[in-house]
Amino acid sequence: MQATSTALAAEATTRTRPRCSAGGQPLGYTTTDHLTGLLDRWSWDKRAVRELRRDRRPSILLLLDLDRFKTVNDTFGHLAGDEILQAVAGIIKDAVRASDIVGRYGGHGGDEFLVLLPATVPAHGLRVARRIRSRIRQAHIDVLSADGRSETITRLSVSIGLTVRSPADEGDLRQLVRRADAALLLAKHDGRDRIQIDNQLIGLDMGPPLHRRAPGSGTSRR
């Protein structure tokens, strides 16, 4: 009887919680990407905006894209690709703090990830990006291919765009994502498997030299 009462109380709390007028979900409700267990794009957006408004200290945004992931799907099958995405999501989560905000970008079929590092200086953000890149390169991921064979996937690589929200910045999340995406496109254009720093960070102390170049003409294939 006590368990039933507890369940009814929880249900009543959910019914009376303020709800979003657009979707009918309780305010503060978040959804996860079913494949990776990370926040989906829209829940990531909400969490990131809330954090940027709460804390005006510098924050780092990383936008990551697995290199040549379509080749993996075409070679081993899409279910094997799903297993790789799950493993990479775990690698990213293990490489960051519990307070950092990690999400899958692009929805179903997307091989990109967003990582917001709140209250983080650029040099530390770069260390995190390097850690993620290194661990993905070292990963050995066991999958089952489309024809039923057990395979171990190695030599994966990732391209990463890095930008910063400074205290002087207005904190527009769309602008932040746009800058990280521009840096990611340059990383892809310049050969993949690298970290590209947003141009506004040039001149800051970022540690050892890294790829920093002005945007040029041309397009890149992801």
Q: Can you give the residue range of the structural domain that contains 159? A: 35-201
CA 73 and chain centroid, separation? 20
Residue 3 lies in a domain: no
Nearest in space to 189 (alpha carbons), one of 162, 210, 215, 155: 215
Report the mean per-residue pLDDT for the chain.
Answer: 82
What's the average model confidence in pLDDT over 180-193? 95
Residue 214 lies in a domain: no
Residue 74 lies in a domain: yes
Residue 219 lies in a domain: no
Residue 166 lies in a domain: yes
As for how many domains the chain has, the answer is 1
Residue type, 90: G
106 pLDDT tier (thresholds 50, 70, 90): confident
Give the tokens for residue 91.
Answer: 């690698």
Give the global pTM.
0.79
Residue 28 has pLDDT above 80, yes or no: no
pLDDT digits (tens, 9 = 90+) for 36-81: 999 999 999 999 999 999 998 899 999 999 999 999 999 999 999 9
pLDDT digits (tens, 9 = 90+) for 150-183: 999 999 999 999 999 876 676 689 999 999 999 9
Residue 23 lies in a domain: no
Instruction: Give pLDDT, residue 205.
Output: 53
Q: What is the domain-level CATH number for residue 168?
A: 3.30.70.270
Instruction: Give pLDDT, residue 108.
Output: 64
Residue 208 lies in a domain: no
Residue 134 has pLDDT above 70, yes or no: yes
Give the position of tokens 């990531």: 44
Give the tokens for residue 13.
Answer: 């709390």
Instruction: Give pLDDT, residue 214.
Output: 41
Residue 10 has pLDDT above 60, yes or no: no
Residue 212 has pLDDT above 60, yes or no: no
Q: Which residues of 82-104 are buried (b: 16+ CB within 10 A; e: fewer)?
A: ebbbbbbbbbbbebbeeebbbbb
Residue 182 lies in a domain: yes
Q: What is the largest CA-CA distance in the chain?
A: 69
